[in-house]
Amino acid sequence: MGHRFPTDLMHMKTGILLSLLVLATNMVSAAELPGDKALADYFRQETARVHARTFANIETLADWERERVIAKQQLQEMLGLSPMPEKTDLKAAITGRVDHEQFFVENLHYQSLPGLYVTANLYVPKNLTKKVPAILYVCGHGQVKTNGISYGNKTAYQHHGEWFARNGYVCLTIDTIQLGELEGIHHGTYREGMWWWNARGYTPAGVEAWNSIRGLDYLQSRPEVDGEKLGVTGRSGGGGYSWWTAALDERIKAAVPVAGITDLQNHVVDGCVEGHCDCMFMVNTYRWDYAKVAALIAPRPLLLSNSDKDRIFPLDGVVRLHKDVAHIYKLYDATNNLALLITPGPHKDTQELQVPAFRWFNYFLKGEEPLIAMPAEKLFTPQQLKVFSSLPSDERTTKIHETFVPLAKPAVPANKSEWETQRTAWLTTLKEKSFRAWPETPVPNGLRNRGSAEIESIQMMVWTFTSQDSVELPLYCITKGNPQAAKSVKLYVVDEKGWTNALSALAAYQPGLLGEELKITPGAKPEMLAWLKVVGEVEKDQSALVFMPPRGIGLTAWNPDPKKQIQIRRRFMLLGETLDSMRVWDIKRAAEVLQTELPDRPVHLVGERLQGINALYASLFMEGISSVDMIEPPASHRTGPDYLNVLRYLDIPQAVAMAATKTPVKIIDSKAGGFQWATDLSNKLDWPKQQLQFIDARAAAREQLRNLSE
């Protein structure tokens, strides 16, 4: 039902449309809009969907064997290892040696790629008479640093290598890039604001897996090692890297990941993601639960080890994961090769976890079951195990995130035919690699009129629609008279800044404000003037102005704590999506609602900053969009919206060209640089001028201010 306001409300300082907004908003129950509870419901539902599809239709060994080939290729891709890098010369070098009466340690480094140095300690038993099994030990996050000098987490975990050497194994213990002698980064999204890692398809888990694979190459090059009897183990982060390595490399004959994996329910629903840096996760393009990683090890011997009070690898998730993996081992009739070890204690490297690992390797690599009487002890100082006296000048380890996953550098197509082929290929790739998480079957839009209010001829309506399960979003429609009389529809997609500016403009707006009586106050913000003009256009041309904050913006915002906002975004990535990729879906759904409710009218998309790019991408997957205007858009996904993997194939200038092929695109910015690729294509294909336009925002604001003042 509409609500008529008395005429004297026109003189309220709060402004007519703000009053309407408040009234209409109050008609919507807060519980029905996506807040923290709805977000939690969304994550719970999406996690359940991902889990259900992880082993869907795997009923026989033949089913799994077919799936396994594809899954291994997908895992390589999700770790940034597709195509697998070339195995270049390791250039291994031994820089020192430490002796013990039972074994010796070689301090060494190798280059898994040119300039990607891996520092390591090799523990070798003395007096060997034959080749022996070898263990690759990958380290967790145990920092050893004194006076600004990093000795590497290999020194924190030295007791494992020493035990193996004293018991007849060669053991290579390698540093990670985060806490090695060369200190790289594991916390790109967690702490450094490097959301472009998602767009690049980069995860440090891929680097750690590759360094481990090359570590196996090094072990097989050693004369002391039986290259057919290799095992891998590690705890915490090292447990995670053990999974990746054993899943990818068949040379691993037995694995004992310790406290290094749990399921998506623990990470996404229960919040364990907040305790982990990026090295623990693949870029989940194909939407797996983590049991699928473990299943790639089957039917090889696998001991899954965990303690019962581990906060970041909770017991319930580990048990669920083991149950899923057990199904695959049963298909192989190899259930004796899978075991679950649960010990008492927190997330800690305890003797209770160490001893069963030693027994596992003894049994499966040596065929022995001796009593474990020797404890794992640290015998050397960190200084004794240090590899570099000075760090190499040609190292890439500390910046490997900049180069590990190749960046797309597409050439401008030579002609229209070549461009159409490229454009079609990119659209397919975007659907498969960046927007795969979009619902296959959209739910009904559930459009509801939540209320309306009117003053003189200006009407405001508030609608809500369902973008997907547990995601209900508002649309604010401002028209002159009945919306059905509108000649066109302008969908404005706002970010938090735009939401604030829109509210400020609505608070100052009254019907006729753009007439002769308007007085421009000193210091009026261009953003507010722009919104005043936008709303004023409703009076002049009878367009329907609909402004939309996508999920997580405006009234649907979540916990404002910056740290919580980071972890919310990371949860999206674990589910094989990003917050921005799902906002593209929201915009697409909103535009489709308007096309249905106000048919046969041109629909124009306008978006600010990152939301402008999201609106641009929404237009790529729709028909009937008349134009796309982007206000102050970024020119690269390096600083713009992060969609999984997009930078492996194209960047924003290419997306602009894709949209402008069928829809006029306008870039409104005071410094609209960085779009030369799109301009070059436009010139080469002789597009009409209106297909791609650049407008100086400051000049436009000055002109607008001048027009309003006259």
Domain spans of the chain, in order of start: 2-32+429-709, 65-402
pLDDT, block means (10 residues), the chain with 710 residues: 29 42 47 71 97 96 98 98 97 98 98 98 97 97 94 97 97 97 96 97 98 98 98 96 97 96 97 96 98 98 97 96 98 98 95 95 96 91 97 97 96 97 98 97 92 74 92 90 86 90 65 42 54 68 87 89 96 98 98 94 95 98 96 95 98 98 92 88 96 81 46
CA distance 186 to 182: 13
Measure CA of the first residue to CA of the last residue in the chain; give whole Å: 39
- Please, which contacts does 60-65 make with residues 24 or more away whose CB atoms are closer than 8 Å? 60/331, 61/331, 61/332, 64/295, 64/328, 64/331
Q: Are strands 448-455 and 2-4 parallel, antiparallel or unpaired?
A: parallel
Can 2-32+429-709 and 65-402 be said to share one CATH topology?
Answer: yes
Q: Are strands 93-99 and 302-307 parallel, antiparallel or unpaired?
A: unpaired
Q: What's the confidence (pLDDT) of residue 517?
A: 38
- Give per-residue burial for 611-638: e unless 16+ CB within 10 Å, then b: bbbbbbbbbbeeeebebbbbbbbbbebb
In this structure, what token pair is assigned to residue 707?
């027009």
In this structure, what token pair is assigned to residue 345?
């204690």
Q: Are strands 103-113 and 93-99 parallel, antiparallel or unpaired?
A: antiparallel
Which has the closest alpha carbon to 682: 652, 649, 654? 654
The CATH T-level fold of domain 2-32+429-709 is Rossmann fold (3.40.50)
Residues forming a β-bridge with 490:
545, 604
Report phi then psi at 216, rounded to 5: -65, -40
- Please, which contacts does 701-710 make with residues 24 or more away whose CB atoms are closer than 8 Å? 701/526, 701/529, 701/530, 704/526, 704/529, 704/530, 704/533, 705/520, 705/524, 705/526, 705/529, 708/514, 708/518, 708/520, 708/529, 708/532, 708/533, 709/520
CA distance 471 to 112: 45
In this structure, what token pair is assigned to residue 699?
């000049």
In sequence order, which residues have a C-beta less than 8 Å from that of residue 330 and are 6 or more positions away?
none
CA distance 493 to 502: 11
Q: pTM value?
A: 0.92
Residue type, 193: G
**Cβ 317 vs Cβ 308: under 8 Å:** no
Q: What's the confidence (pLDDT) of residue 3?
A: 29
Q: What's the confidence (pLDDT) of residue 709?
A: 40
CA distance 135 to 216: 9
Q: What's the confidence (pLDDT) of residue 506?
A: 64
Domain 65-402 has CATH 3.90.25.10: no
Residues forming a β-bridge with 138:
174
Q: What's the confidence (pLDDT) of residue 225?
A: 98
**Cβ 321 vs Cβ 261: under 8 Å:** yes
Q: What's the confidence (pLDDT) of residue 515?
A: 40
